[in-house]
Structure 1
Amino acid sequence: MIGIISDIAHQFNVSIAIVGYLVTIFATVYAISTPLITMFTNNFNRFKTLMVLMVIFLIGNTATGLAPNYFTLILARMLTAALAGSIISLIMTFASSVAPREKRPALISWIFSGFSIASVFGVPIGTAISTAYGWRNAFLIVTVISVITLVLLFLLLPRDIKQVSGSMRNQLTLMKDSRIYLGVILVLFGAATMYGYYTYIRPLLTTELGFSLNSLNWLLFLLGLMSIFSNQLSGQIASHGGLRKMPGVYVAEIILLAVLPFTLHLQIPGLLVLLVLSLITSMLNSPIQLHFLNVAEQDYPQSIVLASSLNSIFFNFGISLGSATSSTMVDMAGVHNIGFGAAVYALIALVMVILLNKAIKSHSNFGSSHDLDI
């Protein structure tokens, strides 16, 4: 959706700000539906559940490509969003089940890199297809790729993995732990930081920095490469220091976002700021995902699938918040000022990661003291 906002706006004769809210709608539905579907399906066979969800996802994505009007497009995106988060959480659960513990950071970083690889290839290719042949064909190609993915999942995934059943109420006990609720708030504001500017990456590159449409795909490709590197660095951070390393990352992000509005009239410096932002913006992914999974495995085994979905759920709440903020900033202050709103969210994320590290340390000290007493 990011690379084809302008084309959809032209097709349905609405403003890019209105189409930008499609990102907000998708993220909001995703975030609300994911925990509900995840908890409801927790007691069913996970392989069969994943297959069913993938088929419905195919239907929703195809309907998006065939939508005759903007209202139908919204409904189709809502259907797709309702299932996407549960699919991702199930994939994370399969990954954590089949991988040895020492391999988890690397494997999870590659799963998150899948999102970045989609940006590297999907966004520019989708944008090129949309520009040359129409945005509908971009979605229909996603349908073809999803069919191939469904077949591969059917052939490769184990049919039965270890499950601990639990009622919705028992699964939700996880959320009472400070190590969890501080973590999800961190994810929310981390995502809001990113989408506080990335929602309008196309006009930032073309309208503000003055790059041509012909160079747009290469620039999106370059930004996507930075994101892949970011996720790989995320895996390294998860293996060496984890969340303790993240405060420094957010300090750097705050500085870059505060500087961004002043570099948008300078093509090369402005692009360099966006590239460095893309390099650091995904570093939280692997450390926080492993944190959620480890807490659930140790203390809340009935909530393991819910724990695997928390990053996706609250990341999309953050997308909703960030994209809505950026759309409001575009209407009120122009595209060139959206970095300031994102910087505020990065500051909140910095506070959250400091508090989370304190909660982890406190729980660890309590556990050690308890063991000594026993």
Structure 2
Amino acid sequence: MKTKINFQCLLLTFLTFTMGLSQFIIVGIMNNLSASFRVSISDIGGLVTVFAIVYAAATPIINLSIGSLSLHKVMVIFMMIFSFGNLLTALASDFNLLFVSRIITALSSGPLMSTAITFAAAIAPQEKRAWLISWVFSGFSIASVFGVPLGTWISDSFNWRLTFWTIFFTSIFITILVLYLLPHNLKQSGTHNIFKQLAILKDKRISLGILVPIFNFSAIYIIYTYLKPILINELNFSHGNVIVVLFLYGLCGLASNQVSGRIANMRWEHDLIKVFIIQAISLFFIFASGNLIWLKISAILVMAVTMAMSNSPMQLYYMDIANHYYPQSLVLASSFNSIFSNVGVATGSAVGSYIVSSIGLSGLGIAGSIFSVFAIGILKLLIKYNHNG
């Protein structure tokens, strides 16, 4: 049984790794796409915004429609859609088709993440839930550590399309593994009336809690979306040095996810306040450091360490409330962290795009730090409400 759970954990992590690579690689190949399709960097940055908006808007609608369907079938169907989306990206002949392909990929990514989290919570023993969920989230960080630098190198050395061909064939392989390794009988419990599922959003603990990933990822993605242009245009880094920084960034993100799993079993609200204070300071130093290379790089890596620390505690927070009070909303609740993180991604990348086009890259850090301060305020309100409630 333990061996089987380990294989299932590995599969779910492999799945989120592939999803993370598909989503994040745009950051690493932004300059290449800009040259290939003859559009501006801010237009390519818009792909990040659109992906996140579609993800955040479509995921709850799709999840509310799942009802009593087998989650195994749901995962297989959306893996096939995900594969097609990445195939279309690899074949895109113009920017409009590239745009459509990213929408298709985003439509499938949300339900895939939700079902992956639901499977992780279902197959893990109670004492291992935080650990397993942190590893599922870590797939995205592993994609940042290895996938994005490798995909960037492939794009710079050969062709950006080769990266998406790799993602396509990998996703087909994962679909085959899902067919055989994951349980077929997992379903949502309770009523599947859409309005009764949405009742969870009226809970003040939830409506406050979902603001945490929004402000956290808004702060991060103001910088992360334009990380490659910052390194090349502001710091005059070579493409090789950019790949090294992307690798280090991903490594910090992986550490962040692992710490996230530990925080989830402790006094996580107070710990996250400290994390966001550090985040706000690091983002301010990205602004204040100017062209001081080592200070700016250090601040960027500290920001990366804070990026994912809220993932596991917030995800378990939503799911525990759903388990106890809204069992009909379990799949919906399992998607809250990814949905509202992507609201943050869309907000951050859109704000970043506006700043880049109106002020320039130098103004990104101060904007990010403001969002981190908002996250601190929300956490303090959440602690006060949970204590008094």
Native 8 Å contact 2:221 2:349 kept in 1: yes
Match of 1:67 among 73, 88, 92: 92
Query: Which one of the candidate residues 285, 288, 291 is aligned to 1:259?
Result: 285
1:162 is displaced (CA, Å) by 4.8
Match of 2:52 in 1: 27
Once superposed, which parts of structure 1, at least 4 consecutive aligned residues long, lie more than 6 Å away? none
Of 4-13 and 253-262, deviating more is 253-262
Q: Does residue 48 in structure 1 map to residue 73 in structure 2? A: yes
Aligned to 1:135: 160
Distance across 1 between alignment mates of 2:175 and 2:169: 10
Structure 2 equivalent of residue 204 of structure 1: 230
Maintained 8 Å contact 1:243/1:288:
no
Aligned with residue 340 of structure 2, among 314, 339, 349: 314
Unaligned 5+ runs, structure 1: 364-374
Q: Which residue of 2 aligns with 1:213?
A: 239
Paired with 1:319 and 1:47, the residues of 2 have a C-alpha distance of 28
Query: For residue 36 of structure 2, what is the amino acid of its counterpart?
Result: Q
Distance in 2, Cα, partners of 1:70 & 1:116: 28
Work out whether 1:91 is the aligned partner of 2:116. Answer: yes
Q: What residue in structure 2 maps to residue 80 of structure 1?
A: 105
The question of 1:154 aligning with 2:154 is answered: no
Report the AA paired with residue 336 of structure 2.
Answer: L
Preserved CA contact (<8 Å) 2:78 2:112: yes
Does the 8 Å CA contact 1:209/1:264 hold for their aligned counterparts? no
Q: Equivalents in 2 of 1:141, 1:100: separation in Å?
A: 34
- Determine the structure 2 residue equivalent to 1:338: 364
Report the alpha carbon displacement of residue 106 of structure 1 after superposing the two structures with TM.
0.9
Distance 1:106 1:311 in 2: 16
For the 8 Å contact 1:57–1:80, the answer to whether it is kept is: yes
3-state SS in 1 of match to 2:264: helix
Matches within 5 A, 1:1-374: 1-164=26-189, 165-363=191-389
Q: Is the 8 A contact 1:42 1:305 kept in 2?
A: no
Q: Give the conservation status (yes or no) of the 8 Å contact 2:90–2:161.
A: yes
CA distance in 1, matches of 2:244, 2:284: 26
Check the 8 A contact 1:209/1:270 in 2, yes or no. Answer: no
TM-superposed CA distance for 1:166, in Å, is: 1.4
- Counterparts of 1:238 and 1:347 in 2: how far apart (Å)? 21
* SS of corresponding position for 1:49: helix
Matches of 1:317 and 1:102 in 2, distance apart?
30
Query: Alpha-carbon deviations, 1:335-367, whole Å to 9, x = none?
Result: 12201111111111111111112222233xxxx
CA distance in 1: counterparts of 2:67 and 2:255, whole angstroms: 33
- Give 1:101 deviation, angstroms: 1.3
Alignment RMSD (CA, Å): 1.1
Q: What amino acid does structure 2 have at the position aligned with 1:313?
A: I
Task: Measure the CA separation in 1 of the matches of 2:385 and 2:177.
Answer: 41
In the alignment, the residues of structure 2 paired with residue 239 and residue 210 of structure 1 have an alpha-carbon distance, to the nearest angstrom, of 43
SS at match of 1:239: coil
Q: Contact conserved, 1:197 with 1:342, CA < 8 A, in 2?
A: yes
Partner deviation per Cα, 1:311-348 (whole Å, 9 max, x = no partner): 11111111000000001111111112201111111111
8 Å Cα contact 2:319-2:334 kept in structure 1: yes
Task: Give the counterpart letter for 1:195 in structure 2.
Answer: Y
Percentage identity across paired residues of the two chains: 39
The TM-score with structure 2 as length reference comes to 0.91
- Cα deviation for residue 255 of structure 1 reads 1.4
1:135-156 CA distance string (max 9 Å, x none): 1111111011111211111111
Superposed CA offset, 1:180-222 (max 9, x none): 0111111111110110111011112222123211221111111
TM-score under structure 1 length normalisation = 0.95
Pairwise CA distance, 1:244: 2.7
Which one-letter code corresponds to 1:54 in the other structure?
M
**Deviations for 1:61-107, whole angstroms, at most 9, x for unmatched residues?**
10011011001111111011011011100010011011111111111
Gaps of 5+ in 2: 1-25
